[in-house]
Chains A and B, each alone.
Chain A
């Protein structure tokens, strides 16, 4: 079993839809969970992060972590064509990232149609 599983999609939705992106993981030591957004021909950029279980909201974006199920989600409300990108989940067991211990999913390609 891979450490982090993420459906690569592609996922196509109409403008205004609620989008749900998900990752599952196997390592129960993971405590820090992140979502990165990668536009075409660009590097990933940090979108949201959460620590341990719970929800975090930032504008139209909500990140959820369910450690008991080893499952994390990113919800996008009122999706816009500008949200079209690849979304990568990432997670880590340790607070310090300099050891390169951030584990990424494959990324889900999202397309929001006008």
Chain B
């Protein structure tokens, strides 16, 4: 298991349901990210948090609502999703400085979401 843990691993939800994805990192990183990975598409950045503060919202629909209570935990709250939201949702963490290169992003294993 990596230093970034995501739960649940799989989630099936109806369009009227409300659910939450959880991410926890044990690496002492201070930046956390949500990415969406769909088949035959590049990874899509959704949200970025630095020291618990949201620094980027990449034009994500309001049916996705992130929450970052501290530097180690990140949530993605889901409500009234659409079938096209079915994808693998990946959480990642990094150090805030020099993160792209020296240390890279550490990804969790993702939550496979299916909206029915």
Contacts and interface: CB of A to CB of B under 8 A. Distances in A.
A106 B40 contact: yes
Interface string A6-48: 1010000000000000000000000010101000011111100
Interface of B: 2, 4, 31, 33, 40-43, 45, 48, 50, 55-56, 58, 90, 92, 94-101, 104-110
A104 interface: yes
A96 B99 contact: yes
B42 A106 contact: yes
Interface in A34-84: 34, 36, 41-46, 49, 51
Nearest to A92: B100
A98 B108 contact: no
Nearest to B110: A43
A104 B42 contact: yes
B109 A41 contact: yes
Nearest to B34: A100
